[in-house]
Amino acid sequence: MKKVILFIGLLLIAGNCFSQYTGETIEESIKKLLSSGTLSKESVEDVLKGAIKNPELYNDAWGRFVNYLEKEDVSKWSWLNDLNVKFKTFQSINSSATSLGFSYDFNYSYSNFIKKDKKRISNALSLKLKGNVAFNRNVNPNDFLESSLNYSFSMFTGGVVKQNNAAIFTELNNIQAKLTSIRDMKSQEAIDLWKKFGENMQYSDQYYFAINPRLSLESNQDFSKKQFVYGGDLFIGAKGWNNKSTYAALNIFDYPFALVRWMTGFDPKFTPYGSTFPTMQVSLDNVNPQNDPQRQAITGNLDPFTRYKLESSFRTFVTRVKNENVFFNANVRYYRELDASQAIKTAGLDDHFYFVMALQTTTGFYVSYSKGKLPFDAINDEVYAVGFQYKL
């Protein structure tokens, strides 16, 4: 009798589920069974066995469970929206054995922002969990779990002089309305309006500092094989948005291009930009080399290693020729492997220096020069040039 009650319960819960074995829904299997006129204990058990092994039964039950919790207290269980659980049948690659199991994918992120008089602070945390778990792990062809935790702290200061005057806001809108209808930005009218605009809205130096540690664990489902991957970035930036700022004067990298802008009549006078002051990034990474034949040939393995990177970038506007904007871009990177083996050092693979610079136009014409090389795993970042490239 108990089985008959369970049988009816299954009918109600999983009426639309597919039987993985017959291709029929459970409802169809039951109807077929009832109409066959041979309702024996064995035939009921057969249908129940099929239903119990059907992952859609559990997907349906899980969905109902989540809905129930969210109806009870949506604020308490809202994080379940970030969790995606799917029951499925795993099949061994080497045999016809199958096992019920589930895949999970959880993405949770939290960010908090604090605005103070002189600085803006942001904290962001994200947790990502992803994997496949078979109740019989021997038949799990996707035996891989990935768990990662990322945190980001960033702080900005300065950038603009705070204004709280409605008349000035309105005045800026009025100037803006005139500026947007002028085609020639070098006309005296435009120059005068931009001057007036700048008098009503003043920029200050902006500073940016960010630190982003990250940690992840890759493993199989019983954690007998696991690997921690760690790393982090430190980013420092400063911009002098006002062209009369100290950063504009200190930005000697922009001097040659300020000269070009002045000589081609784009800028009315020699004006280095503080807004293009170079940025700096320091990174520490645990590198998991893959498909690196050179490294494998030297060390005999592809074991993970730790490496730091220093990177700095610079880009500025050079001039405008007809409808083409011309930019100068530069990037320099230095990579160094920590505790590198003697074989790696001897082969010169423990450190890499890479410098590249390019003149580039809006439509993609490119003249580039590069020196050094990137490490094997970062080779995709190498510049692809259209036009002319010179490489030492």
Partner 1 sequence: MATWENTNLACATLWTTLYHMNQLHTNFEDSGDLKISDLTFFNPLSSGDAREQEARMIADQIDNTFVNARGAKYADNVTNSTAINGMVSILIDGDKQVNDLASEADELYIFWGEQENQ
With b for 16 or more beta-carbon neighbours within 10 A and e for fewer, the 344-374 pattern comes to: beeeebbebebebbbbbbeeeebebbbeeeb
C-alpha closest to that of 278 among 373, 335, 355, 352: 355
Query: Minimum distance from CB of 178 to partner 1 (Å)?
Result: 10
Considering only residues 12-51, where is the footprint of partner 1 by CB under 8 A? none
By CB under 8 A, residue 241 contacts partner 1: yes
- Residue 47 CA to residue 42 CA, distance in Å, equals 9
Amino acid identity of 222?
D
- Please list the residues that pair with 124 across neighbouring strands: 111, 152
Q: Which of 81, 107, 138, 176 binds partner 1 (CB under 8 A)?
A: 176
CB 132 within 8 A of CB 221: yes
Q: Contact letters (x/-) for partner 1, 263-282, by CB under 8 A? A: ---x------x-xx--x-x-
Query: Minimum distance from CB of 72 to partner 1 (Å)?
Result: 25
Span interacting with partner 1, options 10-18, 48-56, 179-187, 217-225, rule CB under 8 A? 179-187
In the block, residue with structure tokens 């100290």: 246
Span interacting with partner 1, options 17-25, 69-77, 132-140, 317-325, rule CB under 8 A? 317-325
β-strand 351-361 against 324-337: which pairing, if any?
A: antiparallel
Q: Would you say 52 or 182 has its CB closer to partner 1?
A: 182
C-alpha closest to that of 312 among 236, 376, 375: 236
By CB under 8 A, residue 99 contacts partner 1: no
Q: Which of 199, 222, 303, 381 binds partner 1 (CB under 8 A)?
A: 381
Query: Minimum distance from CB of 251 to partner 1 (Å)?
Result: 12
By CB under 8 A, residue 310 contacts partner 1: no
Considering only residues 145-174, where is the footprint of partner 1 by CB under 8 A? 154, 156, 159-163, 166, 169-170, 172-173
